[in-house]
Amino acid sequence: MKKYILNQLEYQQRILTSLEVDPDTLNGAQYTWWYNPTNPHSLRLTKLGHKWFSGVAKIATYHVGLGDQMIYPKQLLQLERLFTAPYYIQTLKKLWVYSETDYIMLQLHGSDLKTYLNNLENQ
């Protein structure tokens, strides 16, 4: 059974509602917050989106250092398809996740993003 995944607009509305901000004041936020605004299911954040989500909205973020590993194109595609919460790629060796579950699972995998994403894909 596939998990229900919130899309970009639903995350925006949830955040704005929790902050009691009029949604019209941030009209067009999807073009500055989301790395890929043309795909409503892509939850990758831009630097500005990451700062806004973690700073203004005060959503808990978790830093994952990938050590010697890098994020390769296959992992970028897997992140787009498999992650159910926003994430920010600071560098190809530093990842910020907004899901405590993903953070804990990555820690249990020894910060091995490749193995974790392959395991998620095979479920």
Q: What is the pTM of this model?
A: 0.86
CB neighbour class for 54 (10 Å; exposed up to 12, middle 13-18, buried from 19)? middle
Cα(108)–Cα(103) distance, integer angstroms: 9
55-109 residue pLDDT tens: 888 889 999 999 889 999 999 999 998 998 999 999 999 999 999 999 999 999 9
Torsion 103-47-9-38 (CA) sign = negative
- In this structure, what is the dihedral angle of CA atoms 10, 82, 77, 108, given to the nearest 10 degrees? 130
